[in-house]
Amino acid sequence: MLEPNELKYAFEPVFTDIKERSTVAERFIDRSLYQVYVATLWANVVLSPGEAGIEEEDLEDLHDLVVADIQSVLGNNEDLTTVFTFISSKSGEQAMIEAKLNQTHKDLLQYFSSMILDPDGHKQWMDEIRDNL
């Protein structure tokens, strides 16, 4: 398990990269694109913490770092829930199209949106899929 400052040091280049990729006109961040990238980061890290160089126990501290980065870019009332709410909206769908995400990538983000925004409905949906296999 990493110390919070080690985790911050390890992920700071990722946060910087996301901001740089989302920047338009040298200093303005495209909020939609930023949210697509942050959602992608979170989904990938949660699915495979080891590939990101962390342990599952580090996810809670990483969550706090991700939320702090989101708030520094999008405002104090924003967090992963609002990011995934955006992803599951018409605007989020448009942002994913504009970002040229492939269908598998879009499906992954929609899957995480379902999990985060409606955990009970998500569980029911997954149970139905398992029952039909």
pLDDT digit string, tens, across residues 82-120: 999 999 999 999 999 999 999 999 999 998 898 888 767
122 has a pLDDT exceeding 60: no
Express each pLDDT in 37-69 by its tens digit. Answer: 999 999 999 989 999 999 999 999 999 999 999
Express each pLDDT in 10-38 by its tens digit. Answer: 999 999 999 999 999 888 999 999 999 99
Q: Are strands 28-29 and 23-24 parallel, antiparallel or unpaired?
A: antiparallel
133 has a pLDDT exceeding 80: no
Non-local (6+) Cβ contacts of 17 within 8 A are none
Q: What pTM was computed for the model?
A: 0.87
The structure tokens listed for 13 are 């280049």
Which band of pLDDT confidence, cut at 50, 70 and 90, is reported for residue 78?
very high
129 has a pLDDT exceeding 70: no
Asked if residues 84 and 112 have their Cβ atoms less than 8 Å apart, the reply is yes
